[in-house]
Each structure stands twice: as structure tokens, then as C-alpha cells.
Structure 1
Amino acid sequence: MKILLKMLLVAVFMATGSTIRAKDTLIVTSHRIVDVCSGEKRWLISASLGSIYDSDSLMSFDITIGFDTSLITPTDGLTSGTLAEQMKFSDISPAFNFRVPGEMRVSAFTITRNVKGNLPLFAVAGNYNGGCGTEVPLTLPWEPEFNEEFKRVVTAFIADTLKTVAIPKVNSTTGIVTHSDTISLADTTDLVEIEALVTMQSTDSKLVKLHIESDRLNLVTIDSVSFAGTAYSAIDTVATDHVTIKFQTTGSETPGTVYIRFPGTAADTVAIRYRTEIVDSCTCTQPGKTAITNIIKREPVGIQENKLDRNEGSVIQWSVHRDIITIQNLHGGPNAIRIVDTFGRIITSQTVSTDRITIPLNQMAHGLYFVTITNNKRVQSIPIYF
């Protein structure tokens, strides 16, 4: 029975001792992560001993917190909602002394009553002077002092660090644009060439991640990607509907090309979405302009073979088959061929010397076009509709 009683007393003593040790720790805590992209780079810290009871007889303290003067500047001592507020005595308590470089010294006392509550002892706020990604260590260079009657013995000290982060804003005027938002492919063609332009806010070279996403990405293959003349074959798969490619910009505008293979069948359609992201955890601006390309797989449509002209035995024949126009002169080649749209804009123009030429039309959007042929100083036009 005596042995059991001793064991119970030891267990109670150990449990009580653990509770006391936990409460006898001075903790300096950082309450705000500094956003280096914001206009106000402010931080806030507090010092606490946990719950203080009337029986603890706390009536004064003197605590110094060390810091790096090149990174932070303390500006305000805060007492509202703290034990220091209960120690207000005239204009001399509590006292915040920031005059010594690298030290925040805070002291307070009362002569009328003990202070109590589950409150921090005090709080301090200030300005952050450093850059992104920096952690500011806080130290306790001197052992804290309390009134002699204070029943608690503070033997452990924990100091936090000030942390920083960059929360970028989105710039809707920069990002990626593509040359065409709809591309039609014949059933014999599977390679899509998508011209793009990536714009940035500054001319500084930046590492950029191109995101390519589609709900039907399993139907296509990213063949290759090139920007500013440099090819990038490393394609990272994020998910089944999302891949990324990293590249380096060459200035405020970086042209590039995305090559996609789409071996689908007629009537298949895939919508490809593009967006860019600056690969820098400290950037304060991210591009917001996005692009989309609809790739349509279809059967070729065109005008059947016909004779364009007969002149002194010369016969020019042409045909549109599988999105390719073929022009042939049986007795000599045409001098020039030009394709224009209904607004008169030149889509392609070629000077030729052979008697047969083929021109792919698969990169052209649906609509009416005119193929203008110059031969023996005569000009003829062929209407083509897709």
C-alpha cells in the first residue's frame, strides 16, 4: 500500500512539474507574414508567458528582444489587450525603448495590484526593410527580469522569426496571344503550327512557364515548342489535361511556335488553352492574358477540277483536293500565284517557274478566297470556298 501511494505521489509530482515547465517558457511570436509586394510592409510580434494568475504575483518585467537593424525597424509599442496595459503607471510605465540599435527593450510595473490573464505581456509593430524570401531571426540577448515576488521561474525562451512572402498582382495586359483562334485540318493532315507571342511588363529576361491545358488533351500530342529560336523538348506533365514547358523570354515580346499533332477523325474538335506564369517566387506581377485555339478535324471541301483558260493551245488546269490546291499549265508554268481573302488581304504570294505547283490551304480559316494566277501577262481568279 505504501509503495502504491509513493508511486501515485511521484506521478502527481511529475505531471505538476511538466505543467509548470510548460508555463515557464517565454515565447516571442510573429503574428504577420510580410507581403513584400504590398505598399505597407509591416510586421507584428508579441511576448507571452501563457496564463498568468493572481497567485503568480506578477507586478513587473523587463524584456529585451534582439533583431537585425538592416531588415526591420520597430516603430510602435502596443499595449491594448496585454498585461502591460494593466501595469500602466503615469507616463513611465509601460516603457518601449527602441533607441539602442538591434534592441527592443520593453519594461512595465505596477505598485497597486498583481496582473493576471491569458494575455501577451506586450506587442511591438514596425516596418520591414529587406527583400523577398528573407527570414528575420529574433533573439533574447539578455535574460528577462521580473519582480522578486513573481512565483514563476522562467527558464526556457523561444523566439520566432519574421517571415516574408510575395503576393503578385495580375496584369491583364501581359501574357500570351496566338495568331489564330481556330485552325481547321483535313483528314490527311495532323500537324498544327500555332504561332504565339508572349508579352512581359519589362524587358528583363525571365524564366517563364507555359501552361497548355485541354479537357481533351489525350487526343493530341505536343510535338515541340520553340520560343525566340530555341527549341524546348522538355515537357512536364502536370495532369492528364495539363502540361507545362519552361523557356526564357528575350525581352518585353518573345515570339514562339507550338507544334501539336492531332490525328483525330473528321468532326473531332479540341480546344487548347494557353497561359503563362513567371517562375519566380518573388515576382510582384504575373501575366493575366490567356489564349485559346480550337482545332477542328474535317473532311476537305473545295471546288472540283476545272479549266481556267484556253489561249493559243495553252491549257491551265487546277483542282482542290484534301485542302491542297494544285495548278498546272500544260505548256508552261504560271508566273505568279496569290491567294487573297474577301477583304483583299494577301494570304500567300509565290513566284513560280515550274509547270505545276501545290499550295496547302489547311492553315486557312473557313470562308471565301480567291486564287489569282498571272500567266503570259493575263490575270485570272479562281474562287475557293472552305
Structure 2
Amino acid sequence: MAGYDVYRVRSDFPLLSKGIIYFDNAATSLTPKQVVEAMTSYLLECRANIGRGAYPLAQQATNMYEEVRKKVAKFIGAKSNEIAFVKNTTEAINIISMGIKWRKEDNVVITALEHHSNMLPWIKASRLYGFELRVVRPKKNGLLAPEDFDRVIDENTKVVSVAHVSNVLGTIAPIQDVAKIAKSHGAMLLVDAAQSAPHMSIDVKKMDCDFLAFSAHKMCGPPGVGVLYVKENAEVEALAVGGGVVADASINDFKLVDRPHVFEAGTPPISDVIGLGAAIDYLSRLGLENIMKHEVELAQKLRNMISTIPHIRVLGPDKPQTGIISFAVDSVKAEDIALALGNLGVCVRAGFHCAIPLVRDVLGEKLGVVRASLYLYNTAEEVEKFAGILEEVIKLIKGV
């Protein structure tokens, strides 16, 4: 099914040998041995700070760190000076929302599909600076229509900020269409790629986006580091200042370094950056097209199997676009389903998935939804086993 041997790949992930079914990959993926080994090598053999040391060990650490920047740039089709390392996607979006010079007449366009991390920063900024926040609502199946963006974007739109892939429904946004509409009005485009970068090829030039953000921990890397792409000519100021970003300073003034380092105040998570580089190597060896094909085939199988189980409502399009499948169970809290599954060795996410407006208000699921999210190491056998366990759990809870 996959363009690689999924069973051999599974041996790279020791946690899978414990017999669990790990279907919580949209929250965080597992980490292969190769990533841990790369991080350990830095920590044990090259443990020095970067950027400021003149001695060979520090220079080696700096070179390793900067090589990852080049690797990330190649991974998304950017230039190295457009890549900043940040804590995660959330921090990246906050940097942009607080780093733009706002006017009261401005407006920002988001969608009702967004993760709270691509919603709250804009709400906060709109309260601080007085601009209008506009929201595009998806169809019931989670799909976004370009014409709905066309209706709300105008000459005062400063930023359009959209998730490339919904973390609840797995639907893919029509980014290139949105970019054309945004650019025709002079607006900037931010793409939340937290759920797409781990699974599909990204080219920021083809997307024509000004900003893009994603996290390492969803793509076989460690927690604690993310990526912020800032287009070379995009106007945005750094959020944090301090050590590591100073070009010159006096007792009452300072001058900052150029991009991308201006966005990286303080000592960065060097070992995590090294881990991100190893994760990109790992994904590149398998091939993102192979990974996506594998996930979508599994997701379709999963959707088909659980759709026949009584009391289940499967959400999203009939044909999954990614490896995310969410569902609700009649009159049962999503957390109760997840707890029962967890006790049987099945790891899924349940609740509102940091997307309360989508789950509660758009989808109308007041009791939350259960999300099964697949990745490169999951198998058809796991899908079949999951469906069987889920059916038994629902029978037990429903007293059937």
C-alpha cells in the first residue's frame, strides 16, 4: 500500500512494540530512533552554545544549527534567511499577529475551522489595536469555498490567516485560490501548516504566502521547536528582544540584527533544532507523497468501517483528504469513548480539539468528537482492530 515498507518503518519507533494502537498523530507524532540519536549525539559530543563562541566546539554547534535552517528552507521551498526557529506554531502566529503595524481601519480574515492558536492571537490583536476580525464559515463537511473568501476580503484586509489542513476534519484549504484573492487586494497571507507540513509537500512560492508556521513534534521531531517562515519583504517586527539579537546597544538604546536571527532572542533549543533536521531527513527518505498516499488509504478504510457501526456519526467529507477521521457517538461524551478506548490500548484524542467554535458551533457537537489521526507507521491491521474495539466499546456504553 505504501511506497515504503511500513513494517520495517515501525521498528524505528520503539513505543509501537508495546502493543498500543497510536491514532493520536494530529496531536503529536511518535519519534523515531534516528531523531533521538541525532539529538543525543549533539548533547553528548557537541554540547556548546551557538553563534557567539569562537572555539571550535561552538563553531561546530553553530554550523549544525545553521545546516538545519538550510534543510528546512529546502523542505518548504524558501530561502534560509526566511526561516526562523521558534517554540511552536502557536508562538509563530503570535509573533506575526503582534509584530504587524496595525491601523483601526484594517481587518483580518480567518475561518471558523481554525485551531485556537490561529484564532486567539488575532482576537487579542483586534482588541488591542481596534481592527475588525472577519470569519469565513466552512460547509458542513469542512470544505472551504474560495468565493466565500472573495466576499469578505477587501482593500482594508491586512492579513488572511488560514489553516492548510483542519486539525478536526482533515480537510485541505484551497490555499492558492485564497492567495490569489488576498493578493488582488494587497493583503498578506499566513498559512498554519501544523497539520500539513508533516504529511505533504509544501512550496511557499507556489502558495504565494507571506508567513507559514509548523511544529516539529507533529512530524517525528521533538516538542519545543517550530518553524516560522517570513517572506523576505514582509513587514513584521520581532516580538521578543534580548540576548542573541543585538547588533549594538547602549544604556538607553539598541540596534537589532537582521532576519532571521532577529526572531530568535535568547539561547534557542539547539538539540531540538537538530532533532527537527533529523526528522526532515527521515520524512524525505520515505517520501511525503508516499506518506500521504498511505494515510489517505488507511483513512478511507477506517471511515468505511466505522460508518457501519450503529450510533456513530462520521464527520467531514466522504472521501478523506488526509489521515484525520473524526466522529461523534449519539448522546455520549467524546471523552468517555476515548477513555474506554485508552483502557484497551487505543490512543485517540477527544473533546473540542482546541477548536471550540468549529466543533460546538459549526458542527453542533455539544459533547465533543473523537479524532483518530493516522501517520506513516500505522497499518491496515490496526485500522481493523480499532474498528472492532470501537464497536464493542459503543455496545458496552450503550448497553446493547
TM-score bracket, normalised by the shorter chain, equals under 0.3
Of Structure 1 and Structure 2, the greater strand share is in: 1
Q: Which structure: greater helix fraction?
A: 2
Compute the TM-score of the two structures, normalised by the length of structure 1. 0.20
TM-score (norm 2): 0.20
Bigger RCO (CA 8 Å, 6+ sep): 2
